[in-house]
Amino acid sequence: MVGAFEAFPPAPATLAVEQPLFREAMSRYGAAVHVITTDGPAGKTGFTATAVCSVTDDPPTLLVCLNRKSQGTPVLTANGVFCVNTLAYNDEALSNVFAGRTGAKLAERFNVGDWMKLSTGAPALASAIVACDCRVTEINSVGTHNVIFGVVQAVRLGPADPALVYHGRIYKSV
């Protein structure tokens, strides 16, 4: 049926590759580094992500993947908004803060960086190469993660600096 969602039965676990092999394979995919932020009635938080992509341009929609065990999951879900902030090559330290590598949690993470708001109220990083401010339209649960879809409400184009990329378990710039 065209245009309708068709659910496929899950593949038997015995057919899936082992988790360590899958993680190694994914480490070899270079990906832009983003800080995903949210703010609203449930509070303010953010996290580092590479699992971000465009879905469609009509309506302009992005998706972000977030582990359901993350402290940010209930906050983002309740707020219903997020901003995808694509990091520049010199934002490695900021990425580490939002990845939880410094011990800063939830709103404490915003003590670094220069933040502003676009249309939804989710924090936008002033130094981001691009910030896409989104309103959540759908959340799907897949394995350990939520796939969060958001329609882009505003875009802020920042400096045309090289992007921060994560590849081979280290940061690089392109």
Residues 59-86 have pLDDT tens digits of 999 999 999 999 999 999 999 999 999 9
Position 1 pLDDT exceeds 60: no
Q: What is the rounded CA–CA span in Å between residue 109 and residue 166?
A: 20
> What number does CATH give the domain 31-161?
2.30.110.10
Q: Are 155 and 133 a contacting pair, CB within 8 Å? A: yes
Q: What is the pLDDT of residue 11?
A: 66
Q: What is the pLDDT of residue 36?
A: 98
Query: Residue 173: which pLDDT band, with cuts at 50, 70 and 90?
Result: confident
Instruction: Give me the residue spans of the domains in the chain.
Output: 31-161
Mean pLDDT of the chain: 93
Residue type for position 126: A
pLDDT, tens digit, 9 for 90 and up, residues 87-102: 999 999 999 999 999 9
Query: Residue 149: which pLDDT band, with cuts at 50, 70 and 90?
Result: very high
Q: What is the pLDDT of residue 13?
A: 62
Q: Are 146 and 140 a contacting pair, CB within 8 Å? A: yes
